[in-house]
Each structure stands twice: as C-alpha cells, then as structure tokens.
Structure 1
Amino acid sequence: MIKAVLVDDERPALRGLEFLLKKYPEILIIGMYTNPLKAIEEIGQLKPQVVFLDINMPQLRGIDAASSILDTSPDTDIVFVTAFDQYAIEAFELHALDYILKPITPHRLSKTVERVMQKKPIVQERGDRILQIKCLGCYKVAWENQEPIKWRAEKTKELFAYLLQNQGRDISKDELLDKLWEEDDPDKAIRQLYNGIYYIRKALEEYGVDRSLISISSNYNLKLGAVDYDVRRLYELERSNHADSLETLEEMEVIYTGEYLEGEDYQWAYFERENLGKLYQQCLIKLSRQYIEKKRFEKAESKLTKVYIKNPYEEIVTELLLKLYMETGEKSKAVRHFNSYSKLIKEDLGIKPNDKLYELYQSIK
C-alpha cells in the first residue's frame, strides 16, 4: 500500500485528484490539504511515500513547499501537479518523481502511479545492503560487492563529488557555477547545473539508493545517512577520543587506499587531497612509533618508508629511521639512508641535515 498526501489550494482540484486516485487500490490517501503550510507541518509525522503537490499556490510556492517536505521527510516522493509548465526545469532540479499538467487525464495519471509502484520495491530489495562511497583511491559509489553507479557524464560525476566534499552545508548556485563551469556561458552553465542535479538524482534512484541514504536539498545541500563513506570514517577516527590507539591507527591506514579522488583532475579538490595526505602521513608516523616501542621493527620500517617515499623532506621520518636502525644494529642501513637524505635536501633545497640528525648519525657511525 502506497500512502499519499494531496496538496492543492483549490478544493475542486483536490477532490478531482482524490476521485481519480481512488480507482487505484494500491494508493491510500492519508491526508488532503488546501493549506501548504499545514501540510508541511503534518507531513513530518505522517511520512507519506508520495505527495501530489500543486506548484502555483498563493500561500507558498509548491517548489518551496516541496523543499520543506523533503527536509522533514526525505523518503517522500514529490509529484507536481499544475496548470503551468514554466516550472518544469525547477521541478526536476528538485528531483520530482513526476510532473503532471492540469487537467489531469486518467491515462496520464496511470503512468505516474506506475512510476510510484515501480520505485517502492527497489528500496525494500536494497534495504539490507551497505552503500559504499569511496573517494580514497578509486572514486566510486556502489552497493557492497556490486558494480558501481555509472554516471551519465564526467561533469555529473564531478558535481556529485563536489557536493559530497561539501556535504552538510548549503551551497549557492554561484559557487557551483564558479567552481565547475567557470569558463562556460552563464545560461548554458545554469542548464548544465540543473541537468547535473537531475541526472545525479536519477542515477541514485535507478541504482536503488533511498533518500534516507543520500539526499540533495533545493539549496544543493547533500546529506548522508547510514552509508559507508571512507573520508567521513577517516575523519571520525581522527577526531575520536582513542585516535592515537594502535587499533584506530591501523584502521585509518586500511581506509586510506590511495589519494583523495585519485586520477580525477578536479582543481577544487587540491586542498582536501593535501590535507588527507598529511593526515595519512601522520597516521603512519604515529603507527611507526608504537611499533618501535613494541619491538615490531619490520612493521615500523615499512610505515616510515612509505612516508619517506611520499615526503622525503620530513625530518622526523629520517630521525625515526635512524633510531630504528640503531635499535636493530643495522649500521649500514643507517649510513645509506642518511647519505641519501643529505644528498636529496642539498640538491633540492640547498640545505644540510639539522644538528639533531647529524649528532644522531655520528652516534651510529
């Protein structure tokens, strides 16, 4: 049974839609409103699966009402009903399930009901699966152990990545146009933005992703539910009360499978890529210290070598490697590393090792 709410400021239109929908035993009308403000207030408790909503109402524009409805009931589908078609683009930007022009014909309404019925079982079939969002290494959105979403275009894929990076905050239309379509004609850029949002929502819907997992508001605010998002998990661990525990650090290392949005040439992602890379390096350094304390020298050397390859100028890495080789009695390794490090910073930076490193090296020699 599909629970539906009808909203139209014209009572005859409301009754007419009710009459047409009562021919479908699958549809249960649980509320009818001529006042959209009252409808918004009660829909949060009713949690209907679909709302048939008039766009052109004097108290509140249907587009704005739909945005408020999705904020309070993100799993609800919106079907716009109106005598005017100039709102079509804006309606699809908000990701309406359908858009029906008045006067409504039984044939046209049957197509809408069919769409509602087709969508309902998708969520149920996917409900016990884990949706994974990977941005560290290969960028993809996929159900666990399934093929990932195939985006309609590269720009659609980039737009989703930008919304994801800025999840939880409202984003202005100007910001999106500036970041993703800076060199395009303004009118063309706006159309591409609207199309991009529409195709993101369409791709998520067709892949079976419920709005309780991923939703995008009319203010381009992307919100995540119970999904396995690697970047979010990495930050959660880094901010936790046990961030420096061995178990947490090891989990952080496992999560970081590659650079942020690796292989994607998104200029706006540069700083986040740098920040996450530094976080990963600090994680490896902390891990190596703990491994040295626990006499797990091979593991410590492995982590420090990884950091050295990524950032050979980090003095603490060379210091820890020299101390490790001192502990293990591997004098030749210490000498080779120090000489290699000294040559590198002289050629690249025109400097010598600091006094602390030099004294440590002398004590090993």
Structure 2
Amino acid sequence: MKIRVGIVDDEAPALKRICKVLSDYDKVSIEGIHTDPALLLMEAEAGKFDLVLLDMEMAVMHGLELGRRIYAIRPKVQIVYITAFQQYAHQAFDVEALDYIMKPVTKESIGRALNRFVARQSLAMPSRTMKAVIKCFGWFRVETEHGVLVKFRNSKSRELLALLFINRGSPVSKSKIIEALWSGKDVERAQVNLHSTVYQLRKDLEQHGLLDIVEQDKGEGGSYRLKAPPLRDEWTQFADLCGTYRTDQNIRFAREAVQLYHEGFLKEHDWEWAAAAKLKAESDFHAMLEAVIHYELSGGHYADALPYLYQMVASNPYHEEYQARIIAAHLLEHDPLAAEAHYDKISRLFQEDLGDPPSFTLRQVAVNPEKYMHT
C-alpha cells in the first residue's frame, strides 16, 4: 500500500522541488499539491492523506497553525515540517511532528522522513512493553532485548529518559521537566532545549528499533510520559527482591538485592531531581545489607560476613560498631595481622577526620571478639 502524501508550500518552485524528490519513491502517491493551506486542510479533513509535508513560513497561515488544525481533526495523519529556519524546527515538536526538514529539500531528508513514517506504521498493534532493559545501578543505561547498548547522542537525552522512567509511566509536565533539567535557564531557551532533546531521544531510541516510546500530551500545558514499561528494569527488580525478603525472610533475596545494588542507584549521575529515589534505594540497600550481616554473624560465618561488613563501612567509614566487627571477624578467623592492619587504618582515619581515635582499642576487641558480633 502506497503512502498518500499531501504537500503545501506557497512558493511554486519549492513545491516543484519537493514533488521531484518524492517522485523517486515508488511507495509514495502524491494526492494533493497546494499553495493554499486552506485547500490542503479541506482535503486532510476528508481523509485523503497519510502524511503531509507542510511549509512553515506561509503568508496566509503559518505551518504550525495548519499542523495543529490537521492534528485536531485527523490525529493519525503524520506531519513533517519543511523550514528554512532552525528555530521553527524546534517548535515543530509542539505539534507531535514526525520529522522536520531543512530547506533545500534533499533526497536524504525526504528518505529519512519516509523511513520514520514506515517505522511508525509498522506498529499496527501497540506493544504493552518497551522492548528494552533499563539498568540504573551505576550508570543509567538502556539495552535492547538483544543486549545492544543504546547510545545517547547527548547527556540530556539520557537524563530525560531517566526522569520519565522514574515516574513509572505517569505524565511529567513540561514545566517540571524544564525545572529538573534546565533549572534557572531562560524559559524560551529551555523550551527549545526540551523540544530538541525530545527529538534527539526519539531518534536515539528509534535507531535501536525502540519506536513510539515517548508520548506527548498537549493538554494543560503539555506533558511527556513513557508509553510502556521496559521488559525488565533493575529498579523494579531491586524493589521486588527487598519486598520478597521482608515477606518470606529468605536470606537469598536480601543477598541478591545487595549484589544488584552494587555501585549504587544512579550512582554516576548528580541529578538533583533523583535525590529522593536515590535516598529510598540507599535505605533499602542498607536494610538488606544489615539482614545479610546479621545472618552470617549469627551463624558464625565470619569469613562470609567480611565482604558485607566492608560494604557497610564503605558508605559510612565512621560507624564504630561495624568497624569493630570487621576487626573481631578477622580475629575469629585467626588473622590477627589483618585485624591489626584494619585497626591502624581506621585509627588514622578517625584521628585525621574527627580529631580522636576510635572509642575502642584493638586490645579490647581481642579480649572478647565474640562480644562485638552481637547484632
């Protein structure tokens, strides 16, 4: 089935060039060629087009206004804007544009738009899941279902996807996104940044076969959301492991949660808007870590407990109770040299940072190391 295309540009030479480029594509059927936007609007309302190419700088009606009217009456018609001005290209995405093309029109730019149209139309049955895996401990990253890492062209595309992901499919208003990603920036410039970032994010995802992922809602100031959850994501997996442990008290789930957390939730990103989610994940991690430590120490598995004890003090090196347990565990494992080395290390740390040594001495722990294992 051919793509039914309508074109409007109030300059005849521009129309002629567009038609010439489109004529090279057998899959295209040009159903309407107009210099008057009102005539194209009438034909669009009658259902003649699958795809419309709209010039933006027309004297009678601006292309953006024409696009809004077409979208209102025929929301399934895909819109491509043609413009000579870069600033209009960014504004195009307020009207859910499929693409924008800079003048002069080329075969490459038209081909890109047609390929994007075909890709969207191939989604005849909307997927209930995003065919991807989201990983959020350490770096926030996305992999396809085949394990291919999605490459983001810029950091804001990655951050925007993370923000939408954290909101679990709920709409996030444009104002909230701008405040999160471009706080303190000029409002008009921030709007341009948002539109270009959404466009770039969609391109990044589409290049890996992840189509129609970010949805825009123009009501009440506008918002964006993820249309479907990923096949799998580490955040949900971590929360499920913590919840299952609390219900079943099976230590295996606590261990798996600790292992998954590893580098920390969004550890490599200093995103202020993610602070609450990071704090919640860190709190759950410490609860699971404490559970594993208690299990290992209660069973006398001191060697098994040591890696977890070291994880605990990595996040809080001034926690005397856990520092003493590390020394006691080394002593109970008949490794006094390791115990002494660790005590010397934390003594220097406490003295340099706090001005005082630990409240316990190596000799005190050595007298009765079991005493320090009570949790």
Do the structures match in fold with TM over 0.5?
yes
Q: 1:16 aligns with which of 23, 43, 46?
A: 46
Cα distance change of structure 1 residues 321 and 110 upon mapping to structure 2, 3 Å threshold: closer
Corresponding letter in the other structure for 2:69: N
Tell me how far 1:280 sits from its aligned partner. 3.2
CA contact (8 A) 1:122 1:208 kept: no
| Deviation at residue 190 of structure 1 after TM alignment | 0.8
For the 8 Å contact 2:137–2:262, the answer to whether it is kept is yes
Q: Secondary structure at the match of 2:47?
A: helix
Are 1:256 and 2:249 matched, yes or no? no
The structure whose Rg is larger is 2
CA contact under 8 A between 2:173 and 2:224: conserved in structure 1? Answer: yes
Aligned partners of 2:150 and 2:208 also within 8 Å: yes
Match of 2:368 in 1: 363
* Counterpart mapping for 1:45-56 below 5 A: 55-56=68-69
Q: Deviations 1:20-67 (Å, cap 9, x if unpaired)?
A: 67xxxxxxxxxxxxxxxxxxxxxxxxxxxxxxx98438xxx839x96x
Pair 1:79-2:78 in alignment:
yes
Distance 1:328 1:190 in 2: 61
Matched, 1:237 2:238: no
The RMSD of aligned alpha carbons is 4.6
CA separation of 1:156/1:93 partners in 2, compared to 1, >3 Å: closer, same or farther? Answer: farther
Query: What is the number of equivalent residue pairs in this alignment?
Result: 299
Q: Secondary structure at the match of 1:195?
A: helix
Q: CA offsets, 1:302-361, max 9 Å, x none?
A: 221233233211234224324434543444544443454344334322455457999655
- Tell me if the contact between 1:78 and 1:97 (Cα under 8 Å) persists in the aligned partners: no
Write the mapping of 1:35-184 to structure 2, written as runs, cut at 5 A.
55-56=68-69, 62=72, 79=78, 92-93=93-94, 95-97=96-98, 115-121=116-122, 131-184=132-185
Unpaired runs of 5+ residues, structure 2, are 3-39, 51-65, 82-87, 101-109, 218-222, 371-375
Structure 1 unaligned regions, length at least 5: 3-9, 22-52, 67-76, 100-108
The 2-side partners of 1:196 and 1:277 are apart by: 30
Counterparts of 1:171 and 1:159, CA distance in 2: 10
Q: Percent identity?
A: 23
> How far has the Cα of 1:188 moved from its partner?
1.3
Q: What is the TM-score with the length of structure 1 in the denominator?
A: 0.63
Distance 1:253 1:78, change over 3 A: farther
Shift of the alpha carbon at 1:248? 1.0
SS in 2 for 1:220: strand
Residue 321 (1) aligns with residue 326 (2): yes
